[in-house]
Amino acid sequence: MAKKEKRGRGIATRAIHGSKTEDKVEVKGPCSKVPIFQTANYRFPDVQTAANIFAGKEEGYFYGRFGGLNATIIEEKIASLEGAEAGRMFSSGMAAISNTMIALFEKGDEIISCPTVYGCTDDLFSHFCPNKLGIKVHFVDLNDLENLKNAINKNTKAVFIESPANPTLEIFDIRLIAKVCKEHNLIFMIDNTFASPYNQRPIEMGANIVFHSATKYLNGHSDVVAGAVVSTKKIIAKVKATAGLLGPSIGPFDAFLINRGLETFELRMQRHNENTAKIAEFLSGHKMVSVVYYPGLATSGNRILALSQMKGCSGVLSFELKGNMKMVEKLLNYLSDNTFIKLAVSLGSTTTMIQCPALMTHAAIPRAKRLEKGIADTMIRLAVGIENYEDIESAFKEAFKYLETQNGCAAHLRRSTRHIINTGRRLTKTQKKKRKNR
Ligand code: PLP
């Protein structure tokens, strides 16, 4: 009788099982880096272990949708950076936020959000949550805590904020909002994408859940789309159960890249902070700029609050050009065609990127609503990279010089510079008074 071939005889079978070495791969040795476990599933050592894992009696990997080794490594690291007990990675920041909404809330629940949030989060809260999930989201000006208290009713389950907010860079008082949430037994969620845990750790200030678009500073190189949620073990267990069901998990390669990006996280953040503080100063002193939104500026009404809860003001600012949409278009096209600054919608990358929220990230919000939220047509959002500062400033100097040669520029320059430089929205008289007395 011919010798039985354990590895099969057919070409297909041998192509799949032909390597004895592959069977034996077990990375236990002292690799200095963890390799990519590019696998959809994991072998069980025996049936009893498999049964225990499925019954939840034992922890272990079994199928990529429910988690994988490369993902676990960054979940642990991001949780540790944020001072949280546990974390869950997702295939995008939006997957992290939407999955958590589905995991924790149900029809009839209500949530309070700050007015200005990332465009897709706005869309999720304004349409998807109420229309598809029956969860109502109220956009409330949380600069005034009375507004928050007044908006809470028996159905309110949570408060969501972005601080700094995208793209107005508004800052909210995390400690005070956390206190109100605690008093009313509400879950306090914060999207910490703009600040990153280098600059701000909301859990230490009383927040319960922190979200990240890991696409941004955590990965840092604009080559991965991913998201993260960190919180208590109890909340993350609920988030994980829903994620296993809905399937918005991160793949091993993307997790590997984020792990690599995290190694330079602190260095990158230091440079983002430095470059942005300098370019904010430069822009705020430029005759073609009417307003700069950056909490780190000495003239910013948010500076004291920002620095009471942030180590640095991170790498994004917005500004308004003295001019119309045509001028904005000319500036952005010039920068994109003639300098290294990219016309692209993201942030937190090594590369400096520029975009116009009214036409891009926040274009889905109806104009009147968008203006109410403080996002002017001529607002430009600048995500400052980690290039040499002098080159970033030179690129802007060159582009502004070009704009000055354009028709109609002189008339725009006669418009006075506004020195509000604090929040996106104009404050009411009462709000101004409250702010002063705070
Ligand atoms: N949160 C903020 C503040 C963002 O700026 C973004 C995207 O730009 C997201 C969430 C969504 O993240 P992602 O694009 O990774 O889904």
DSSP for 101-115, please give it. HHHH--TT-EEEE-S
CATH fold match for the domains 11-263 and 267-437: no
47: helix, strand or coil: helix
**What is the 94 CA–ligand 1 centroid distance (Å)?**
6
pLDDT of residue 415: 65
Domain boundaries, the chain: 11-263, 267-437
Phi, psi of 176 (to 5 degrees): -70, -40
Give the number of other CB atoms < 10 A from CB of residue 278: 15
194 Cα nearest atom in ligand 1: 3
pLDDT mean over 290-312: 96
**What is the 16 CA–ligand 1 centroid distance (Å)?**
39
Q: Is the CB of 129 under 6 A from ligand 1?
A: no
Ligand 1 pocket: which of 97, 162, 166 to mutate (most atoms <8 Å of CB)? 166
Per-residue pLDDT tens over the stretch 115-135: 999 999 999 999 999 999 999
225 Cα nearest atom in ligand 1: 15
CATH architecture entry for 267-437: Alpha-Beta Complex (3.90)
Q: Is the CB of 164 under 6 A from ligand 1?
A: no
pLDDT mean over 273-288: 97
Q: Give 316's DSSP letter.
A: E
Kindly indicate the confidence band of residue 319, based on its pLDDT and cuts at 50, 70 and 90.
very high
**What is the 344 CA–ligand 1 centroid distance (Å)?**
14
Q: With a cut of 50, say whether residue 425 has pLDDT above it.
A: no
Encoded tokens for 316: 């994004």
Kindly indicate the confidence band of residue 410, based on its pLDDT and cuts at 50, 70 and 90.
confident
Q: Which of 269, 294, 252 lies closest to 218 in space, CA to CA?
A: 269
Q: Which of 74, 123, 54, 70 lies closest to 94 in space, CA to CA?
A: 123
Closest residue (by CA) to atom 15 of ligand 1?
Answer: 93
Q: With a cut of 80, say whether residue 221 has pLDDT above it.
A: yes
pLDDT of residue 407: 78
Q: With a cut of 60, say whether residue 431 has pLDDT above it.
A: no
pLDDT of residue 17: 74
8: helix, strand or coil: coil
Q: With a cut of 70, say whether residue 416 has pLDDT above it.
A: no
pLDDT of residue 33: 80
Q: With a cut of 90, say whether residue 202 has pLDDT above it.
A: yes
97 Cα nearest atom in ligand 1: 10
**What is the 361 CA–ligand 1 centroid distance (Å)?**
10
Instruction: Calculate ∠ Cα 85-89-91, nearest 5°.
Output: 165
354: helix, strand or coil: strand
200: helix, strand or coil: coil
Which amino acid type is present at position 311? Answer: K
Encoded tokens for 5: 């071939």
Q: Which helix (H) or strand (E) holds 14?
A: helix 11-17
CATH number of 11-263: 3.40.640.10
Q: Which of 187, 156, 421, 201 lies closest to 311 in space, CA to CA?
A: 201
Closest residue (by CA) to atom 4 of ligand 1?
Answer: 118
> What residue ranges in 58-208 does DSSP mark as E strands?
86-90, 110-113, 136-139, 156-162, 187-191
Q: Is the CB of 227 under 6 A from ligand 1?
A: yes
Residue 393 · residue 266 · CB < 8 Å: no
pLDDT of residue 413: 77
Kindly indicate the confidence band of residue 185, based on its pLDDT and cuts at 50, 70 and 90.
very high
Q: With a cut of 70, say whether residue 433 has pLDDT above it.
A: no
More confident residue, 275 or 15: 275
**What is the 213 CA–ligand 1 centroid distance (Å)?**
5
Q: With a cut of 90, say whether residue 31 has pLDDT above it.
A: no
Length of the chain, in residues = 438
Per-residue pLDDT tens over the stretch 85-103: 999 999 999 999 999 999 9
Q: Give 251's DSSP letter.
A: P
* Mean pLDDT of the residues in the chain: 91
pLDDT mean over 186-199: 98
Q: Is the CB of 122 under 6 A from ligand 1?
A: no
Encoded tokens for 363: 């274009």
Encoded tokens for 92: 């995008």
Kindly indicate the confidence band of residue 434, based on its pLDDT and cuts at 50, 70 and 90.
very low
Which amino acid type is present at position 134? Answer: G
| H-helix segments, 285-388 | 303-309, 325-338, 367-372
Q: With a cut of 70, say whether residue 4 has pLDDT above it.
A: no
Contacts of 289 (CB under 8 A, 6+ apart): 283, 319, 320, 321, 322, 417
